[in-house]
Amino acid sequence: MRTFSSTVQSLINQDTVDFFFLIDLEFSTTYRLSSLPYNVTFNGNTYEANGAILEVDSPKFSSVVDRESYRVVVVEDENNTFKTEIENNVVGKNITARVGFFDSNGDPVLNVDDTLLVYKGYVDSPAISNNFDNKIVTFEGTSPMADLDMVISFIGSKNGIKQKDSNDESFSNVYGESIIKLKWGKV
């Protein structure tokens, strides 16, 4: 069960819960974006509020093993900043999403303990769409179970193991090279 700070617990117990997002995109440069209408400092870093965050997926909890991914949609890539990053390959780069809350005065609560980490993972599939009014960039984060579909070939032979370690003699008595496909994690 997830526990919350007493501040967060009191804020989410209210009739109306107002929240905002803080996104870290650790590419060639770390981009810190906020869904707030103004820049804020959180954990010693400034989060830009240039209206760039269009949509962020809601946190999803699942009781089964699935391949649910996480999406962050950014709009207004006027300077082609994210386009250039995508062209330089952002797949596998870190992405972090936090949710913060507003207090009863409408001010953001920016203590680290009073925000919720809703996603921390890696960019899996970036995409750009341009409808001539604006350019929409989507970063889809990997699912924690994304590796279940990964295929890694391994040749169980003397020469196959020598490619990994020239001193390894564990397959010295294996004759002939053969490839076996195993369906791991699937029925």
Q: Which residues contact 146 (CB under 8 A, 6 or more apart)?
A: 67, 69, 124
- SS3 call for 103: coil
d(CA 70, CA 172) in angstroms, rounded, equals 45
pTM (2 decimals)? Answer: 0.69
The radius of gyration of the chain from alpha carbons, rounded to an integer in Å, stands at 22
Query: How much is the pLDDT for 54?
Result: 67
Query: Of all residues in the chain, what percent carry a pLDDT higher than 90?
Result: 14
Report whether pLDDT(35) > 60: yes
Query: How much is the pLDDT for 43?
Result: 93
pLDDT tens for 116-172 read 888 888 888 888 888 777 788 888 887 655 555 556 666 666 677 777 778 877 776
Q: What is the mean pLDDT of residues 7-32?
A: 88
d(CA 86, CA 139) in angstroms, rounded, equals 9
